[in-house]
Chains A and B, each alone.
Chain A
Amino acid sequence: MLELHPDVALRPEPFGALAYHYGTRRLTFLRSPDLVALVEDLGRHASVDDALAASSIERRRWPTFRKAVATLAESGFLRDRA
């Protein structure tokens, strides 16, 4: 299961947030406030879908968010929870 990498800091912005990984020095943009809330909440749920179900994000938008989460995991902004 995933969580925000401890080396990642989020800076709230009107479009969502800036995310910076202090380890890899990578910077990325979380392009919606919903995605920011989801990413911050991931660590409290057993799966991405559980986190989505607990959020206010409409079900039809879930595929977009699943994809965004997968991209953040691939680039190291999220990590597997021990």
Chain B
Amino acid sequence: MPSPLVEELKRGLDAPICLTWELTYGCNLACVHCLSSSGRRDPRELSTAEAMAVVDELHDMQVFYVNIGGGEPTIRGDFYDLVDHAVGRGVGVKFSTNGSTITAERAARLAGSDYVDVQISIDGATAATNDPIRGEGSYAMARRAMDHLAAAGFGPFKISVVVTRTNVAELDDLAALADGYGAQLRLTRLRPSGRGADVWHDLHLRADQQVDLYHWLVDRPGVLTGDSFFHLNALGESLPGLNLCGAGRVVCLVDPVGDVYACPFVLHPEFRAGSVRDAGGFIRVWRHSDLFRSLREPQSPGACAGCGSYDACQGGCMAAKFFTGLPLDAPDPECVHGHGERALAEVAAGFDAPRGPDHGARPGAGHSAVAVALGPTRRD
């Protein structure tokens, strides 16, 4: 039975609980599963003054914290000015980085700042697992950043991992790695968004791996997940978290040019609610956009109506459905009861997955690089 609180959250709040802000599409890596298909900076990126004004709006709305990402957000020359401005206005910052700019000196400065959390991304406990996904040398780069943060006494930074078919066997090693640094492990779900659409079929968890992951998470309530895995709640007791799709209700995403999307996993025109550059700014988009209003209406369980697990899993993730060609009221493609696989089988063979804008360094380059890099994983 859903709690009254959850029912209220589904109807949306006057301000997001937190939001994700991709500050730039520029990135020195080209991860095969990048949600925002990042690579090149967009010349229309928000200026420093525009970004500062967004921070001021978040302050006015009493948004307590913002998750900053990209691209690689630290390549913006004004990155730390924006962070300082946010923290100064009571908007805490957690930023995600590949670690490339976290030098010993930068780590020492970060260690001296309150209300700033750092999240380093890796996608495996070894370079052999990580580098095919995130790029040659990216594991060593991330570990150097972790070493610097630990040496500087930063405290419990976060290590963020997208769980895939190739790294799911290394969860214990990743937990040990985090423990060794006094860090917090954070696991998130692989979504078929951005370049993730190219690799999802090869890298998303098999059914048996999903069951293992569920039990692993149940045993480790201290592992952070960003409520990523609520579709697994249909396997038994609920994982910690709100167990609802927060898109446009309690979370959203602001992209580098100021466009506002329903969540970090749906960078596609269909889920664009407006722009912080529109009259009325972010507040108006959040409170009055047609898209967000519709997402706050009661949602139909659709094809899941007859399933006893709907209260537990809520039909899963909107983005995972959309980018695999399923209707939004279909089962999640990774439904633990297998309903998603059957639904996927009905999607036309010639189905062309919807794609958001590609910011890859060279158009099309990401795709062929993927095929080469992932060659070995295609055996299973």
Contacts and interface: CB of A to CB of B under 8 A. Distances in A.
Contact of B92 (A11, A15, A18, A22): A22
A63 to B, nearest CB: 19
A58 to B, nearest CB: 19
B15 A11 contact: yes
A14 B8 contact: yes
B16 to A, nearest CB: 11
A9 B5 contact: no
A13 interface: yes
Given A11-B62, A20-B65, A25 B17 contact: no
A23 to B, nearest CB: 8
A9 B117 contact: no
Contacts of B14: 13
B238 to A, nearest CB: 16
Given A11-B15, A25-B117, A27-B17, A20 B64 contact: yes
B202 to A, nearest CB: 35
B115 interface: yes
Contact of A29 (B5, B15, B64, B117): B5
A14 B4 CA distance: 11
Given A25-B92, A27-B17, A9 B4 contact: no
Contact of B13 (A13, A20, A25, A27): A13
Given A22-B92, A27-B17, A11 B64 contact: yes
A25 B15 CA distance: 18
B90 interface: yes
A31 interface: yes
Nearest to A16: B5
Interface string B66-91: 00000000000000000000000010
Contact of A9 (B13, B17, B18, B64): B64
Interface size class of A (residues with CB under 8 A): 10 to 19
Contacts, number: 33
Interface of A, secondary structure class, is strand
Nearest to B62: A11
B17 A18 contact: yes
Contact of B8 (A11, A15, A22, A27): A15
A15 B15 CA distance: 14
A11 B4 CA distance: 18
Given A18-B64, A22-B115, A25-B65, A31 B5 contact: yes
Contacts of B117: 25
Interface string A1-30: 000000001010111001010100101010
Contacts of B17: 18, 27
B62 A9 contact: yes
A75 to B, nearest CB: 13
A34 to B, nearest CB: 14
Interface string B1-20: 00011001000011101100
Contacts of B4: 15, 31
A59 B13 CA distance: 31
Contact of B90 (A9, A29, A31): A9
Contacts of B18: 27
B62 A15 contact: no
Contacts of B62: 9, 11
Interface string B111-128: 000110100000000000
B5 A15 contact: yes
Interface in B1-44: 4-5, 8, 13-15, 17-18
9 contacts: A9-B62, A9-B64, A13-B14, A14-B8, A15-B4, A15-B8, A20-B64, A22-B90, A22-B114
Given A9-B64, A14-B8, 9 more contacts: A11-B15, A13-B8, A15-B4, A15-B5, A18-B64, A25-B65, A25-B92, A27-B64, A31-B5
Q: Which 4 A-B pairs have the closest CB atoms?
A: A20-B64, A11-B62, A15-B8, A15-B5
